């Protein structure tokens, strides 16, 4: 990065200093009267936490909400400060954001795009939220990101893994800390080939919405590049709870690997059905049959129980990492809630702190100032080591984890073991990569 001065919608900003994650003061020349949507005028500022509190991803959403509440406590100087103590940027002082106490409102996305947009719209229009964070579905993320762009507030995405979120559906007011489907393929495929060989025949069951589609595309491309053959790809409704009718055809398909492009309760149910059909006891094409779950979470692993043992997948983050940011967050979360956090919780916690930090460094809640503070921001101390928020598409880049269901867990939370920490360089890609083609980032929208 190089120093820059950019004039945008009345904003004059001096750019970040390369490698430090710190920026020179920002000067805003626009009139303060209705300069941007929900400009805080009192002693507090309101954030909107929009998570699935009901529906197939509710368990993820409830964990996200716990982390968001913890982030607010730390921003307001309560508790032990968590990652404020390890974050490479030192702009946050535990006195709120820009001296204003942080308050929050919540909404239930129900893992439905229309419901998520409605709850986000209510938080923006009725509650004065200046930022929306959360979600555990890419369909929801794309819908809410579009709404936030139109409304003139910042969207700090939660758990969204579809390539589309920072691909064809990217928006200037939206930012994603979570990794994506392409990164899962890039990290997972070499491990699959090393452990299962290059001559495998894969059958895909795929959640029928934008995340499932791009996850399937990414895993197919990455495994076929290493010699695998794709036997069939079958879409399954998000509302499905019994996948028996989808599992039965796998037995006579000629496949020797089942790839479950499912998440949350869907994955728990489809994996359970696959085990009930005895797939892991089968031999096909002279090879032991295998199951792969490309996107994992601790909550899914716990829900699947014994069935998860030995099954490979990828993750954005895991509580067992030993970097200082992870240890600080796990300690705070564990002491408050009595359990380790999930990777969806870590994402929403980090995104809340990143937004607050960007406001502090920009000297404003104006979305355009926040956008410039986050674009090409490099930081450490929030988990996963050195991380980069790329300005071209607002996608975060950091190391990716390949994990396996633990064969010999020592406690209820020891469900997954880290097989490999894939270096960031291996999962990076050009912003114009075909899987991310289409759409324009556009300009920030400050709203009012």
Parallel/antiparallel/unpaired status of strands 5-8 and 11-14: antiparallel
CA 174 → CA 161, 206, 352, distances in Å? 14, 26, 13
Site of tokens 């779950």: 293
CATH number of 44-179+319-393: 3.40.50.2300
- DSSP conformation class of 253: T
Tokens 């895991």 map to which residue?
318
Class of the domain covering 182-315: alpha beta
Strands across the sheet containing 154-157? 101-108, 44-51, 131-134, 154-157, 174-176
User: Are 44-179+319-393 and 182-315 in the same CATH fold?
Assistant: yes
Q: So what's the pLDDT on residue 44? A: 98
Cβ atoms of 101 and 124 within 8 Å: the answer is: no
Domain extents in the chain = 44-179+319-393, 182-315
Instruction: List C-alpha distances in Å: 143 to 36, 46, 215.
Output: 21, 21, 18
- Helices (runs of H) and strands (runs of E) counted in the chain: 12, 20
pTM tops 0.85: yes
Q: What size, in residues, is the chain?
A: 448
For residue 269, the SS3 value is helix
pLDDT tens for the chain, 448 residues long, are 333 323 232 332 323 333 333 443 333 333 345 589 999 999 999 999 999 999 888 888 999 999 999 999 999 999 999 999 999 999 999 999 999 999 999 999 998 999 999 999 999 999 999 999 998 889 999 999 999 999 999 999 999 999 999 999 999 999 999 999 999 999 999 999 999 999 999 999 999 989 999 999 999 999 999 999 999 999 999 888 999 999 999 999 999 999 999 988 899 999 999 999 999 999 999 999 999 999 998 888 888 888 889 999 999 999 999 999 999 999 999 999 999 999 999 999 999 999 999 999 999 999 999 999 999 999 999 999 999 999 999 999 999 999 999 998 888 888 999 999 999 999 999 999 999 999 999 999 999 7
């Amino acid at each position: 990065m190089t120093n820059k001065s950019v004039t945008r919608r009345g904003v004059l900003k001096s750019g970040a200093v390369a490698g430090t994650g710190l920026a020179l003061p920002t000067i805003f020349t626009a009139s303060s009267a209705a300069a941007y949507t929900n400009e805080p005028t009192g002693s507090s500022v309101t954030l909107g936490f929009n998570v699935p509190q009901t529906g197939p991803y509710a368990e993820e959403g409830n964990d996200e909400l716990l982390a968001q509440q913890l982030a607010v406590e730390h921003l307001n100087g309560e508790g032990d400060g968590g990652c404020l103590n390890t974050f490479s940027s030192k702009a946050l002082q535990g006195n709120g954001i820009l001296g204003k106490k942080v308050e929050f409102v919540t909404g239930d996305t129900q893992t439905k795009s229309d419901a998520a947009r409605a709850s986000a719209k209510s938080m923006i229009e009725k509650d004065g939220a200046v930022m929306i964070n959360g979600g555990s579905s890419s369909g929801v993320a794309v819908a809410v990101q579009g709404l936030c762009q139109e409304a003139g507030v910042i969207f700090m995405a939660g758990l969204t893994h579809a390539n589309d979120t920072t691909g064809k559906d990217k928006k200037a007011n939206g930012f994603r800390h979570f990794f994506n489907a392409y990164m899962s393929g890039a990290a997972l495929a070499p491990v699959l080939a090393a452990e299962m060989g290059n001559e495998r025949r894969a059958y895909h069951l795929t959640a029928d919405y934008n995340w499932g589609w791009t996850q399937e595309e990414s895993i197919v491309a990455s495994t076929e590049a290493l010699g695998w053959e794709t036997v069939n790809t079958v879409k399954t409704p998000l509302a499905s709870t019994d996948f028996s009718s989808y599992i039965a055809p796998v037995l006579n398909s000629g496949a020797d690997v089942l790839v479950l492009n499912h998440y949350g309760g869907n994955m728990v149910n489809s994996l359970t059905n696959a085990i009930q059909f005895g797939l892991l006891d089968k031999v096909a094409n002279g090879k032991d049959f295998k199951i792969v779950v490309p996107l994992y979470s601790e909550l899914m692993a716990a829900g699947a129980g014994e069935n998860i043992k030995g099954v490979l997948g990828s993750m954005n983050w895991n509580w067992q990492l030993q970097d200082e940011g992870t240890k600080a967050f796990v300690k705070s979360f564990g002491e408050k809630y009595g359990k380790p956090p999930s990777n969806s919780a870590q994402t929403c916690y980090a995104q809340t702190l990143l937004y607050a930090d960007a406001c502090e460094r920009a000297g404003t809640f104006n979305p355009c100032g926040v956008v410039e503070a986050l674009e090409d921001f490099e930081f450490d101390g929030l988990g996963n080591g050195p991380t980069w928020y790329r300005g071209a598409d607002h996608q975060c880049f950091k190391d990716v984890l390949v994990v396996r269901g633990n064969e010999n867990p020592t406690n209820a939370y020891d469900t997954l073991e880290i097989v490999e920490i894939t270096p960031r360089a291996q999962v990076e890609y050009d912003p114009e990569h075909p899987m991310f083609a289409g759409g324009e980032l556009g300009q920030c929208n400050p709203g009012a």
